[in-house]
Structure 1
Amino acid sequence: MSRELSELYGSLAADADARDLGLPDVLRHQADRRARFRAAGSTLAVGLVVVGVVIGAQVVTTPPASVPAPAGMPTPSTSPSPSATGGSPSPSVPPTTPGRSPGTTSPGATGTQPSRTPTSIPDRAFFALAPTNQVGIAPEFRDEAVLPNLCGADIGGEAIVQRRTRLLIYKLPQTPKGYVPDGSYTHSITIYRAGRADDVLKELRQAVRDCPEQNGSSSGSSVRSRQRLLSDSGFGDESVLFEMRNAGQDVNGTPTGADEVRLIRAIRVGDVVTILWEQGWEGTSSQRAQVDADGRRAVAAIRRWLG
């Protein structure tokens, strides 16, 4: 053994002799305490790791708290995403409004506004004769009876809002210009209170039925006339056509041996009634084709006016 190593061992032995070494039981007790501390520390560390994992999982999986909707706002419903259902999502069905039965339409849903009863009658509401019927005499507005007497019947007088009447002179298309006219109309337009115009036509029909014959005058002479309803359709919302027939007379009151026929047509368009009372000219009779043509022109003018 070298000298340096011998001196080192000698120094170590002297140092050990100078110190009080612990007893074996004490050393074993201290070692057991250190072992228990290490085991407790390991257990605590494992527990902390487990708690951290649980808390982390809750943070990841817990959805964010929903913010409450303001008062009065509907809460949106959640629907499955397309990827979860395998197809496109179905559209949400709006809630049924209570208090309305199926099939009813709410006011204003059609977009159409209810028609209003007019209060005045402009000149443009009256039709113009076809060029082949014009005689060069302008129509004349004046107050006239709009219907012939029908055994004294009063028809719709209390429901009138406004009325205008004119005298209209015409010729037939085949009559050359400059010749004597073929006929004339007392043409009237009357506005009735809402819902009363159809009653007026009912009253007129009944008045004609109730007055099949009556005494009257023609060209200053006493005559007996006969009234009857004629079938009629295709004019306005509804129409009434009737004839008055009496023994014909010339301008001097001499019987002609033929009947003189007057045609009167009342046409309703909404709350408006127009009447064409054909009165002839110097004993002529009404021509149905001409009265029909002018009736259609009268309806067209009223519809343009009412819009």
Structure 2
Amino acid sequence: MSRYALPSIVRAPRMFGLILPLVGTVALSTACTAAEDGSDATPSSAATTSAPASPTDQPSGSASAPTTIPTSAFVELPSELRKSARRTTDVSAALPKLCANEFGTGGRQVTASAAMTVTYKKAGEPDSNTPQGMIHQTIFTFDGDGAADYLRRLGDAVRACPSFDQDGNKVTVQSKAVTGVGDEALLVTHTRPATSLGGERTGGETSSQIAVARVDTVVTVFNDQGWEGSSGNPAILDRTMRDGVRVIDAWQS
């Protein structure tokens, strides 16, 4: 087992040793125009503003359906894996696409959405080395049972997409439920022929993963991408997903 993989755990309690500083607030796009039946709801460009850094900044809205998501709700990598600090990312760019817009189907029950990206390296490597990959994290908040509905629709959509074409190459898709993470979680693996930066096949395969977890009325999507078309790191994604769920649970407390 990789030194960074963590065993499955039951849902974390409300108090944690992982504490992230609140360095600002990521403003959100709340104007979702899709229907609750699963039609596209992700804006083409997330509306974002910056708030002054303050340890007392708090998200607005009710606890069950906030309309802003603070930066502190996003995971930060441990220092030995961090190539660069997390940064704000457009939601539509952060979410993966397989056969279609499977991950952008929140519906009208979405009350807030925001995304950030972290770049990671191999542990122990100097910062001057090439990164190993990057993880885009998106957070959605929902009214009512919208979060559970999103996971249900997403699971159905991924199962309906066993493969798709990407730049002339066949990409295969597999998914499985992940136990012991949040209220429910899904792991999606997509595998494709390895290619050079110019698109020529180099032999072998590369694969990346997408992890999705629900914590009460919040859903977070982790989209892991290997650097310049290389494979992602499943152990780092697993650790990031579990740490991310703890951070969201603490934010909701």
State TM-score, norm by structure 2.
0.70
Q: Contact conserved, 1:183 with 1:286, CA < 8 A, in 2?
A: yes
1:182-221 mapped onto 2 (5 Å cutoff)? 182-217=132-167
Q: Contact conserved, 1:169 with 1:183, CA < 8 A, in 2?
A: yes
C-alpha separation in 1, matches of 2:204 and 2:177? 23
- Give 1:141's match in structure 2, choosing from 76, 84, 88: 88
Identity %: 30
Q: Contact conserved, 1:153 with 1:207, CA < 8 A, in 2?
A: no
Deviations 1:52-96 (A, max 9, x none): xxxxxxxxxxxxxxxxxxxxxxxxxxxxxxxxxxxxxxxxxxxxx
2:52 match: none
Q: Secondary structure at the match of 2:118?
A: strand
1:234 match: 180
2:73 match: 125
1:16-95 mapped onto 2 (5 Å cutoff)? none
- Give 2:126's match in structure 1, choosing from 151, 165, 176: 176
Deviations 1:275-301 (A, max 9, x none): 100011012212221111111111111
1:103-122 mapped onto 2 (5 Å cutoff)? 116-122=64-70
Deviations 1:105-144 (A, max 9, x none): xxxxxxxxxx633232011101111111112x23221213
C-alpha separation in 2, matches of 1:290 and 1:239? 16
Q: Give ranges in structure 1 of 5+ residues lacking alignment.
A: 1-114
Question: Which structure features the higher share of strand residues?
Answer: 2
1:305 match: 251
C-alpha separation in 1, matches of 2:230 and 2:207? 8
Shift of 1:175: 3.0
Q: Contact conserved, 2:226 with 2:233, CA < 8 A, in 1?
A: no
C-alpha separation in 2, matches of 1:173 and 1:157? 39
Q: Which has the larger radius of gyration?
A: 1
Shift of 1:304: 1.3
CA RMSD of aligned residues (A): 1.8
1:289 counterpart = 2:235: yes
C-alpha separation in 2, matches of 1:176 and 1:293? 21
Q: Give ranges in structure 2 of 5+ residues lacking alignment.
A: 1-62
C-alpha separation in 2, matches of 1:257 and 1:282? 16
C-alpha separation in 1, matches of 2:121 and 2:107? 32
Deviations 1:230-289 (A, max 9, x none): 342121111011111111112122212121111001110011011100011012212221
2:213 match: 267
Kindly indicate whether structure 1 or structure 2 has the higher relative contact order, using CA contacts under 8 Å at least 6 residues apart.
Answer: 2
**Range 283-292 or range 167-176, more displaced:** 167-176
Q: Secondary structure at the match of 2:69?
A: coil
C-alpha separation in 2, matches of 1:160 and 1:126? 18
Q: Contact conserved, 1:193 with 1:271, CA < 8 A, in 2?
A: yes
Query: Match for 2:88: what amino acid?
Result: F
Question: Which structure features the higher share of helix residues?
Answer: 1
1:160 match: 110
Q: Contact conserved, 1:172 with 1:290, CA < 8 A, in 2?
A: no
Q: Contact conserved, 2:163 with 2:173, CA < 8 A, in 1?
A: yes
C-alpha separation in 2, matches of 1:131 and 1:294? 13
Q: Contact conserved, 1:150 with 1:207, CA < 8 A, in 2?
A: no
Q: Secondary structure at the match of 1:150?
A: coil
- Give 1:280's match in structure 2, choosing from 207, 221, 226: 226
Shift of 1:227: 0.8
Query: Match for 1:138: what amino acid?
Result: A
